[in-house]
Amino acid sequence: MSVIQESITSKLAAALNPLHLEVLNESHMHSVPANSETHFKLVIVAEAFNAKRKVARQQSVYQLLAEELAGPVHALAMHTYTPEEWQNRAAPAPASPNCLGGSKKEQG
């Protein structure tokens, strides 16, 4: 596990005590140097989200990861669920879209 990925995982695990947590480094899918830690996808299932709307859930994650977002992390895809929402899902969290930025941008 990479340094930033481990930092994100540790902070979220300590603060939210999630029932399910995925921290995926998706930097390789973007126009960044090899071994970058700039783009992450989070899937978080936590009881802490029970009384919160999706925007409030994401705001709480942004606050927890303020240091990473002010530095090396450029993009954060978040999928936040209550345990009931997660249990009722018929599919896993949505896949991240393909990057069209930088050198991968479509030429028109």
Residue-range definition of the domain harbouring residue 18: 3-91
Question: Is the residue at 101 inside a domain?
Answer: no
Between 107 and 27, where is the model more confident? 27
Q: Is the pTM of this model over 0.85?
A: no
Joined together, the tokens standing for residue 20 give: 């399910």
Q: Is the pLDDT reported for residue 107 higher than 50?
A: no
pLDDT score, position 99: 62
CATH number of the domain that residue 15 is part of: 3.30.300.90
pLDDT score, position 101: 61
Question: Is the residue at 96 inside a domain?
Answer: no
What does pLDDT average to over the chain?
85
Q: Is the pLDDT reported for residue 36 higher than 80?
A: no
Between 61 and 107, where is the model more confident? 61
Write the pLDDT tens digit of every residue in 76-85: 999 999 999 9
**Count of domains forming the chain:** 1
> What are residue 70's phi and psi, to 5 degrees?
-80, -15
Between 28 and 62, where is the model more confident? 62
pLDDT score, position 28: 63
Distance CA 44, CA 54 (A): 12
CA distances from 10 to 40, 44, 87, 102, 104 (A): 14, 13, 24, 31, 32
